[in-house]
Amino acid sequence: MRYLHTMVRVKDLETSLHFYSTVFGLTEIRRYENEKGRFTLVFLVARDDLQAARENLAPCLELTYNWDTEDYAGGRNFGHLAYEVDDIYGFCRHLMDNGITINRPPRDGHMAFVRSPDGISIEILQKGESLPPAEPWASMTNTGVW
């Protein structure tokens, strides 16, 4: 398993980038704009993690800017932790065998979400290419929120 990023939602991308980059000293290493989903992802990294982040895309802070305005009350601006695993199906099976609910199953062989006992959302990503769809995951529905 490898730690990837922590995601926070931001209301004003330019103001947030000024804080995290100019003031706090993090460096932007990549940006992803999704017109259909109406969001922008900006990945930032600390100076001492720059080489590792460029080579392995981690560890990063992900700023998520949703183009449609929203007030993030009650801590909703904190998004999730993200970890990469060698076998998403095996890892999710291990979690289920230990009583953990898979809130968003890895139907696509690539991404799943679970929650910690304290309600923190954790994204689990398949290392490398997505695995082929397989049961029981392909037909499993979402449970709760993530």
Q: Which domain holds residue 92?
A: 86-139
Nearest to residue 85, comparing CAs of 76, 100, 95, 75?
Answer: 95
The per-residue pLDDT for 78 is 81
The per-residue pLDDT for 146 is 80
Query: Within this chain, do residues 11 and 62 fall inside the same structural domain, yes or no?
Result: yes
Whether residue 81 is contained in a domain is answered as no
Tell me 51's DSSP state.
H
Query: Within this chain, do residues 34 and 90 fall inside the same structural domain, yes or no?
Result: no
Whether residue 80 is contained in a domain is answered as no
| Structure tokens that stand for 106 in this block | 């890895």
Query: Within this chain, do residues 62 and 7 fall inside the same structural domain, yes or no?
Result: yes
Complete DSSP assignment for 21-40: IIIT--EEEEEEEETTTTEE
Whether residue 144 is contained in a domain is answered as no
Phi and psi at 138, nearest 5°, equal -60, -35
Domain total of the chain: 2
The per-residue pLDDT for 74 is 66
Whether residue 44 is contained in a domain is answered as yes
The pLDDT profile of the chain, 146 residues, written as one tens digit per residue, is 899 999 999 888 999 999 899 978 899 999 999 999 999 999 999 988 999 999 998 999 999 999 997 777 766 778 788 889 999 999 999 999 999 999 999 999 999 999 887 688 899 999 999 999 999 999 999 998 88
Whether residue 59 is contained in a domain is answered as yes
Whether residue 75 is contained in a domain is answered as no
Q: Active-site residue numbers? A: 123
Whether residue 57 is contained in a domain is answered as yes
Global confidence as pTM:
0.73
CATH number of domain containing 36: 3.10.180.10
Query: Within this chain, do residues 52 and 94 fall inside the same structural domain, yes or no?
Result: no
The per-residue pLDDT for 116 is 83
